[in-house]
Amino acid sequence: MTEHKHHHDHSHAPSSLSRRIFLRRSSGVTLAAAISVTMGGALLNAEESWALEVKGLRPETLKTLILLSRDIYPHDRIADRYYAIAAKPFDQKAAADPAQKEMFEKGVAELNALAGPGGYVAVPWEADRVALLNKISSTAMFEAVRSALVVSLYNQKEIWPLFGYEGESYSKGGYIHRGFDDLDWL
């Protein structure tokens, strides 16, 4: 409830994405491996054909925050790009406010220190990463990330179909002729 704004901003993704990668994660590639840092300091996910400019944080920090976002709200059917969109405001906040930047950078550095060699993104099992998150779950950074994500992830209209949620209905005349009482299994 701390965040009332809409999050419709998008990463630099080509508009003609194939159906396969429109929503679902591609199989077989871990998120840590799927996202690379380019020479220019952007994040690139070649499999899903998107790139994300990084302006306020270290690119590796934002990459970690994207993985952390998936670990906080893991939906296997949702592609990385939507977690990237959800996490992008952290970079924007860091660019606009040095105190926010310090919070994210310090918070991620602490998480990486807890994780050991290679940092958080190198921990292969989700359960082990979640154990690390439990250790930092009372920190200001974790709560800032989680409370923003609960809006910036679930308020993306593009992922609503995965939840069977149909969104706006007034323009279609409501559901009076479109299944408001179509349940037939009782």
Partner 1 sequence: MVAKFELNDDNVVVIIGSGAGGGTLGNELAQKGVNVVILEAGPRLTTDDFVNDEWESFAQLAWTDARTTSGTWRVAKNFPNLPAWIVKSVGGTTTHWAGASLRFQPHEFKTLTTYGKIDGANLLDWPITLEELEPYYARAEDKMGVTRTNGLPGLPGNNNFKVFKAGADKLGYKECNTGRMAINSVERDNRNSCQQTGFCFQGCKWGAKWSTLYTEIPKGEATGHMEVRPQSRVLRIEHDDAGKVNAVVYVDKDGNKQRQKARIVCVAGNSIESPRLLLLSASSKYPQGLANSSGQVGRNYMRHTTGSVYASFDKPVHMHRGTIMAGAIHDEARNDPSRGFVGGYNLETLSLGVPFMAAFLDPGAWGRTFTSAMDDYPNMAGLWIVGEDMPQEKNRVTLSATVKDKLGLPVADVHFDDHPNDVAMRNHAYQQGRKLYESVGAIRTFPTPPYPSTHNLGTNRMSAHPRDGVVNKWGQTHDIKNLFVSDGSQFTTGGAENPTLTIVSLAIRQAEYIAQQMSVRAI
Question: Among candidates 12, 3, 76, which has minimal Cα distance to 38?
Answer: 12
Contact assessment for residue 74 and residue 149, using Cβ atoms and an 8 Å cutoff = no
Please give the single-letter amino acid code of residue 57.
Answer: L
Residues 127-146 that bind partner 1 (CB under 8 A): 130, 146
Binding status of residue 150 toward partner 1 by CB under 8 A: yes
Binding status of residue 186 toward partner 1 by CB under 8 A: yes
Between 117 and 173, name the residue whose CB sits nearer to partner 1. 173
Binding status of residue 72 toward partner 1 by CB under 8 A: yes
Binding status of residue 125 toward partner 1 by CB under 8 A: no
Binding status of residue 19 toward partner 1 by CB under 8 A: no
Binding status of residue 169 toward partner 1 by CB under 8 A: yes
User: How big is the site for partner 1, counted in residues (CB under 8 A)?
Assistant: 39
What is the rounded CA–CA span in Å between residue 51 and residue 89? 15
Stretch that binds partner 1, among 14-22, 55-63, 101-109, 157-165 (CB under 8 A): 157-165
Binding status of residue 167 toward partner 1 by CB under 8 A: yes
Question: Among candidates 34, 33, 27, 121, which has minimal Cα distance to 77?
Answer: 27
Helix (H) or strand (E) holding 35: strand 35-37
Residues making contact with partner 1 (CB under 8 A): 1-2, 4-6, 72-75, 77, 130, 146, 150-151, 153-155, 160, 163-171, 173-176, 178-183, 185-186
